[in-house]
Structure 1
Amino acid sequence: MRTMKSVLTGAENKIDVVEVERPTPGPQDALVRIRACGICGTDTFFLHLGGMPTGADGSTRAIPLGHEPAGEVVEVGARVTGLAVGDRVVVNPQGAPSGIIGCGGDLGGMDEYLLIQDAEIGRNVAVFPDDVPFDVAALNEPMAVARHCVNRSEAKPSDKVVVFGAGPIGLGAAIWLKLRGVEHVVVADVIPERLETALSVGADAVINSATEDVTERLTELHGQAANALGQPRAGTDIYIDAAGAPAVFQAAVDSAKWKAKLVMVAVQKKSDAIDLGGMLRSELTLIASQGYPTEIFEVTPELAAHKDRFARLISHRVPFSEVDRAFELALTPGAAEKVVVTFDE
């Protein structure tokens, strides 16, 4: 029996690296040797819980982790078309019949090999060029999340936008906004190093919201406008919340001019401190953004075309032999921006 290493949820905030049987592809499947896989906040969410919740009693079960993989095709089923051994690929983790890869399904992208069930180009797998590093290709899934958020905003070149949160999704949104031709993009965060990264990937300005008044700075950068009652407000057209903190939501409400938009892409932390009534004073439009209904492979060619720019989002590249350290970094607030686990050649 051929085996491989698989990363599972272990005890609370711990992983288990176990030896499991290596998948054997059927006639409609492909087998991918994983070469890089990013760690997402969803992975750490399951680690905090100690696995996938299974009942009201708080019980959990261990699950394979990782839904941001990139790798190389090593076996192809007889009925699969368009794929060949040696192709470098990214996958759609929501395209597996057995459940979402790395999020409760039977398969995990942080395994040495990943079975692509019912492999079909453009549906659950896409090929990327040989000159794109595997670690950058592993950003495909989170950059699809960021792209959907920008698409939901319907940002126009003439718009002025602020992105709250300079993590991978927020920075990805900033990149997509600039590639879309948006006139002025500001990124706000509380960590200076992340703000430096924001400027390096093309943000026009940054705001340290721990030390600066957000409304005042936005007014300086985007001019002065008014809300529905004629009260002075910043001239910002679109607010993107990639942070999920109640203070961010409230900052947008406090700053918003008449008919501004707020796009929510981060998972929101519950709070009673948000003044929803304040939205009336600006007729603020709230738009929710979830996942990537169409964007998962729409982003792949542009990710390849701008690979050096997207590479700046990766703060740590950790070899699979040190995967425990990789997850420790991801679990430590402020220790890393984006951790990608790399697999041996």
Structure 2
Amino acid sequence: MKAVICENKALRVDTLPDPKPERGQAVLKVLRCGICGSDLHMRTHCDHMSALAKRVGYPFFPTSNDPVVFGHEFCGEVMEHGPRTNKKIKVGTRVCAVPMIRLKDRVDLTGLSPTAPGAYAEYVAVQAAMMEPIPNGLSSEVAALTEPMAVGLHAVNKSDIKKGDVAIVVGCGPVGLAVIAMLKARGVRTVIASDFSAGRRALAKQSGADMVVNPSDNSPFADWKDYGFIGELPQLLELGVGTREKIDAVPKWWHAWRLAEAAGLGPKRPVVFECVGVPGVLNHLMEGAPFMTRIVVVGVCMEADRIEPALAINKEIELRFVLGYTPLEYRDALHLLAEGKVAAKHLITGQVGLSGVANAFDALANPEKHAKILINPSDTLLGDKIAVM
């Protein structure tokens, strides 16, 4: 089969043996595969990511010298079942699959490992139990967005956001856009999106953002007073003393206080989703955010960063870090797309064949032109060109 191999930061199309399904596996003909930001990171920061993976007990991540077939955002057609599979999903069925595969001694990450080739190829091996049939005639193009949409869904789930909370999404690349779409699917009434790129701000509006902000002109926290947030310490001190004074005449005032807290009548705060992953952004958000803001860190910063803990302590900023998704969230994301509850087709800005992948990596550096480029391994007519969607 033809596949795109990354080795020493270079991308090339080469011929590899067709995958054979091992026990519990299936082989898919790749219909579409998205180019993920983590693939771009892998190409340039592979050794750093490998060292980091070892620190969390995963020694199987590739180094820059390892030839790797990327591709973990994909859908395909079932071609063959391996032994010990129940075959309940028939050959010829279009499916998506969580990009994790069981090898003899471990579970590996498809497309992020030299021993688990991904879907920048004509065929890919998957774990049969991780396959999900594509429902409702959803197009292969949109189905290939299931994986990044699941990342957005997981971030929203982990945020514990409520419909009446104000959500602020900082960074409107594909993951930020997925977060916006999932926030609106959750019914969050106010979603503010911030990005320097006019093109990405336009996509944020299409994804459901109620307000978009250019941080060059205005801070996403500029209107904190309009939402009843606390932006300064004297205001917080006044709230504590003033509330106590107001209920001083109430017998056993502490019961009233507890009831008010249980009813959610305490200070309001936004939920911020950091989807940039660039050094300095996190501390900048802590500096500008109102008191008691919850910051959900979704963007993957591949460099060492510095924050001021005392700043976060004095403002009682809450930090939550998230990664990936569960198989259930993956299935839910697919069905949200298929049922029309989440719109994502507008995120697809280009399509390439295998020979155009290197050019696509370069093109994705321009946020004004592209958000998500899909690979169609069967398309040999495009050559190294990118078809604009």
TM-score by length of 2: 0.78
Preserved contact between residue 162 and residue 186 of structure 1 (Cα < 8 Å): yes
Q: Provide the rounded CA distance (Å) in 1 between the counterparts of 2:353 and 2:29.
A: 15
Superposition pairs of residues 144-159 of structure 1, within 5 angstroms: 144-159=150-165
- Bigger Cα displacement from structure 2, 144-153 vs 325-334: 325-334
Q: Provide the rounded CA distance (Å) in 1 between the counterparts of 2:50 and 2:148.
A: 26
Preserved contact between residue 136 and residue 307 of structure 1 (Cα < 8 Å): no
Cα distance, 1:183 vs. partner? 1.6
Q: What residue is the counterpart of 1:76 in the other structure?
A: 81
Q: What residue is the counterpart of 2:123 in the other structure?
A: 113
Q: What residue is the counterpart of 2:373 in the other structure?
A: 339
The reply on whether 1:17 has 2:26 as its aligned counterpart is no
Q: Provide the rounded CA distance (Å) in 1 between the counterparts of 2:65 and 2:378.
A: 32
Select the residue among 161, 177, 188 that pairs with 2:167: 161
Q: What residue is the counterpart of 2:271 in the other structure?
A: 238
Superposition pairs of residues 14-163 of structure 1, within 5 angstroms: 14-26=10-22, 28-49=24-45, 60-77=65-82, 79-81=84-86, 82-97=88-103, 99-104=108-113, 105-117=115-127, 119-120=128-129, 124-129=130-135, 131-163=137-169
Distance 1:318 1:219, change over 3 A: farther
SS state of the match for residue 344, structure 2? Answer: helix
Q: What residue is the counterpart of 1:256 in the other structure?
A: 289
Preserved contact between residue 93 and residue 133 of structure 2 (Cα < 8 Å): yes
SS state of the match for residue 30, structure 1? Answer: strand
Superposition pairs of residues 164-183 of structure 1, within 5 angstroms: 164-183=170-189
Q: Deviations over 1:26-79 (max 9, x none)?
A: 4633210001001112211221147898789x8621111111111111222464
Q: What residue is the counterpart of 1:301 in the other structure?
A: 335
Preserved contact between residue 76 and residue 83 of structure 1 (Cα < 8 Å): no
Cα distance, 1:304 vs. partner? 1.2
Q: Provide the rounded CA distance (Å) in 2 between the counterparts of 1:79 and 1:224.
A: 57
Q: Provide the rounded CA distance (Å) in 1 between the counterparts of 2:285 and 2:353.
A: 40
Please list every run of 5 or more consecutive structure 1 residues that lacks an aligned counterpart in the other structure: none
Q: Provide the rounded CA distance (Å) in 1 between the counterparts of 2:136 and 2:188.
A: 30
SS state of the match for residue 44, structure 1? Answer: helix
Q: Deviations over 1:240-262 (max 9, x none)?
A: 10112344323421233332201
- Bigger Cα displacement from structure 2, 23-32 vs 39-48: 23-32
Distance 1:288 1:32, change over 3 A: same
Please list every run of 5 or more consecutive structure 2 residues that lacks an aligned counterpart in the other structure: 55-62, 238-266, 380-389
Select the residue among 283, 292, 301 that pairs with 2:316: 283
Preserved contact between residue 73 and residue 85 of structure 1 (Cα < 8 Å): yes
Distance 1:227 1:126, change over 3 A: farther
Distance 1:229 1:278, change over 3 A: farther
Select the residue among 265, 274, 292 that pairs with 2:298: 265
Paired letter, 1:85: V
Q: Provide the rounded CA distance (Å) in 2 between the counterparts of 1:167 and 1:46.
A: 17
Q: What residue is the counterpart of 2:246 in the other structure?
A: none
Paired letter, 1:84: K
Q: Provide the rounded CA distance (Å) in 1 between the counterparts of 2:281 and 2:322.
A: 16
Superposition RMSD on alpha carbons, in Å?
2.7
- The size of the alignment, in residue pairs, is 333
Distance 1:7 1:307, change over 3 A: farther
Q: Deviations over 1:275-297 (max 9, x none)?
A: 33211222111111011134222
Select the residue among 358, 371, 374 that pairs with 1:324: 358
Q: What residue is the counterpart of 1:310 in the other structure?
A: 344
Cα distance, 1:112 vs. partner? 0.5
Query: Which has a greater percent of helix?
Result: 2
Paired letter, 2:371: E
Q: Provide the rounded CA distance (Å) in 2 between the counterparts of 1:307 and 1:36.
A: 22
Q: Deviations over 1:1-21 (max 9, x none)?
A: xxx011111342x21211011
The structure with the larger Rg is 2
Distance 1:50 1:276, change over 3 A: closer
Distance 1:54 1:271, change over 3 A: closer
Preserved contact between residue 269 and residue 291 of structure 2 (Cα < 8 Å): no
